[in-house]
């Protein structure tokens, strides 16, 4: 059974959506992509192979790039209406659809959300479970309703979060898991046999990501900061802190095992405790971190370790933040 699909998406999810819908023999009557070039923007990195616009061009698909804030405008609603979609399929597009859009397709709207709903509703990125210390990153396929990620669940998938993973790596794998899930359940959506599982409101939570969280709060535990750093590390914008009046991006850290922690009386959160051959140790609200890779925004030819070294062991404590 072939369907007319209007696609509203971005990033790698959008590229995989296009591949899956074409493989299924469906007609993609329109593609809405998030405006902007592939590359690095606003803290995010979109490789050329993740670019929805490029993928749409390659397959001669009708491409639209409306201002996301005007997606629900009467003018753009009319654009979608004229395509007569059977379904609207969305994913990784950070805007809520109002009823005018939800009521357009003949059979309904399907979305893929990169967390395990009902946990982490909202603008939650593909590393959210990792950020909060979970051992698996989930992704959910669900029906859309007027709420924020509250629609009935069709299916869920997940990938393991490994100790050496970055947020970008986890995002890549869980997005591919989402595409495999879509491939399995999309035929059931079209033939009317797809599940409709009500969300358990007792398990619901919301998380709207902002790059404001990238500033490291040294009062948090070493493990919380480790998760933040690895979620945001390259090729994303990175977590950061201040050192000696300079902004320092922190790219890689390691949690110090309790048995190896330095015993420093009265150590304060953010205090640099020692230098090592590979970096320096910092006291956290709970536990200690070994900073292994960092850079100074305004001193590209200097290393943070050169800046820190003269102060460590002196009469004045060096505090980050």
What does the pLDDT look like over 200-253, one tens digit per residue?
999 999 999 999 999 999 999 999 999 999 999 999 999 999 998 899 999 999
What does the pLDDT look like over 90-130, one tens digit per residue?
999 999 999 999 999 999 999 999 999 999 999 999 999 99
29 shares its domain with 61: yes
Residue 315 lies in a domain: no
182 shares its domain with 234: no
End residue of a domain, out of 179, 203, 227: 203
How far is residue 15's CA from residue 9's CA, in Å, rounded to a whole number? Answer: 9
Residue 37 has pLDDT above 80, yes or no: no
What is the mean predicted confidence (pLDDT) over 146-153?
97
Residue 313 lies in a domain: no
What CATH number is given to the structural domain containing 256? 3.10.25.10
Task: Count structural domains, the chain.
Answer: 2
35 shares its domain with 88: yes
Task: Give which of 41, 128, 144 is closest to 91, Cα–Cα.
Answer: 144
15 alpha carbon, distance to own chain's centre: 16
Instruction: Specify the pLDDT at position 41.
Output: 67
How far is residue 319's CA from residue 216's CA, in Å, rounded to a whole number? Answer: 12
Instruction: Specify the pLDDT at position 244.
Output: 86
Residue 275 lies in a domain: yes
Q: Of residues 8 and 278, which shows the higher confidence score?
A: 8
pTM for the whole thing?
0.95
Task: Copy the structure tokens of residue 110.
Answer: 């399907």
66 alpha carbon, distance to own chain's centre: 22
Residue 321 lies in a domain: no
How confident is the prediction for the chain on average, in pLDDT? 94
* DSSP state, residue 38: S
**Domain that includes residue 68, residue range:** 4-203
Task: Copy the structure tokens of residue 57.
Answer: 């061009």
Instruction: Specify the pLDDT at position 304.
Output: 84
Residue 40 has pLDDT above 80, yes or no: no
CA atoms within 13 A on the CB side of 32: 26
In which element (H, E) is residue 268 found? none
54 shares its domain with 127: yes
End residue of a domain, out of 203, 233, 256: 203
């Amino acid at each position: 059974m072939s369907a007319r699909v209007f696609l509203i998406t971005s990033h790698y999810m959008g590229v995989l959506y296009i591949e899956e819908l074409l493989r299924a023999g469906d007609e993609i009557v329109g593609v809405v992509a998030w405006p902007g070039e592939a590359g690095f923007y606003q803290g995010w990195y979109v490789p050329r192979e993740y670019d929805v616009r490029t993928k749409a061009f390659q397959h001669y698909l009708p491409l639209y790039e409306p201002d996301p804030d005007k997606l629900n405008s009467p003018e753009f609603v009319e654009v979608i209406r004229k395509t007569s979609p059977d379904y609207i399929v969305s994913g990784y597009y950070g805007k809520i659809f109002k009823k005018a859009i939800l009521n357009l397709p003949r059979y309904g709207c399907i979305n893929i959300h990169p967390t395990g709903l009902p946990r982490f509703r909202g603008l939650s990125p593909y590393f959210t479970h990792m950020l909060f210390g979970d051992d698996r990153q989930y992704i959910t396929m669900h029906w859309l309703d007027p709420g924020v990620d509250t629609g009935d669940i069709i299916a869920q998938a997940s990938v393991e979060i490994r100790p050496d993973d970055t947020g970008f790596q986890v995002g890549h794998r869980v997005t591919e898991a989402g595409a495999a899930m879509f491939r399995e359940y999309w035929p059931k959506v079209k033939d009317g046999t797809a599940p409709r599982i009500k969300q358990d409101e007792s398990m619901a939570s919301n998380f709207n990501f902002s790059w404001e969280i990238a500033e490291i709060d040294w009062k948090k535990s070493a493990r919380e900061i480790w998760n933040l750093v690895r979620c945001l590390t390259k090729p994303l914008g990175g977590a950061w802190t201040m050192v000696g009046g300079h902004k320092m991006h922190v790219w890689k850290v390691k949690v110090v095992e309790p048995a190896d922690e330095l015993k420093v009386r009265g150590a304060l959160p953010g205090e640099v405790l020692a230098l090592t051959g590979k970096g320096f140790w910092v006291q956290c609200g709970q536990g200690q971190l070994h900073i292994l890779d960092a850079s100074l925004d305004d001193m590209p030819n200097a290393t943070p370790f050169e800046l820190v070294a003269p102060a460590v062991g002196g009469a004045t404590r060096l505090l980050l933040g």
